[in-house]
Amino acid sequence: MRLKAAMQQIHSDMDATYGKRRMLSELKEMGFTVGLEKVRRWMKRLSLVAKRPKQHRYPSGGAASVIAPNKLNRQFNPEQLNTYWSGDITYIRTQQGWLYLAIIMDLCSRRVISWALRL
């Protein structure tokens, strides 16, 4: 009865997001000595189903994307400074979450013109 009540409490406290593995670790922290298979069976008996995250979809907007004209034609070595700039974005995983780094670079001097970081 204690195990049943604890599992239902964990399920409701965690907004039904815990599956059998995380449920097992929570129960072990509470002092229960159970295995993964027992947790799976009891979750099935109690109809405790973990929510799955929805697949991310980018909005289509209905209209086709416009492709920018190819002005460089793969000639990435301009003769003059500040004629062509290039930019890129990268994602860095940290303990606080994803860190986004955006960089703008001058193609002639290969120097970073500007950069920005956001969490």
**Helix 2-13 vs helix 20-29: crossing angle, to nearest 10:** 120
Nearest CA-CA partner of 12 in 45, 90, 4: 4
- Starting at the edge strand found earlier in the chain, the sheet holding 97-106 runs 85-94, 97-106, 112-118
Task: List, as one string, the DSSP characters of 8-40.
Answer: HHHHHHTTT---HHHHHHHHHHTT----HHHHH
Domain range annotation of the chain:
2-45, 85-118
Question: Is 6 within 8 Å of 30 (Cβ atoms)?
Answer: yes
pLDDT of residue 106: 93
Q: What is the pLDDT of residues 60-97, one digit of tens each?
A: 767 777 888 888 888 888 889 988 899 999 999 988 88
Q: What is the pLDDT of residues 24-65, one digit of tens each?
A: 999 999 999 999 999 999 999 999 999 888 888 877 767 777
Rounded to two decimals, what is the model's pTM?
0.47
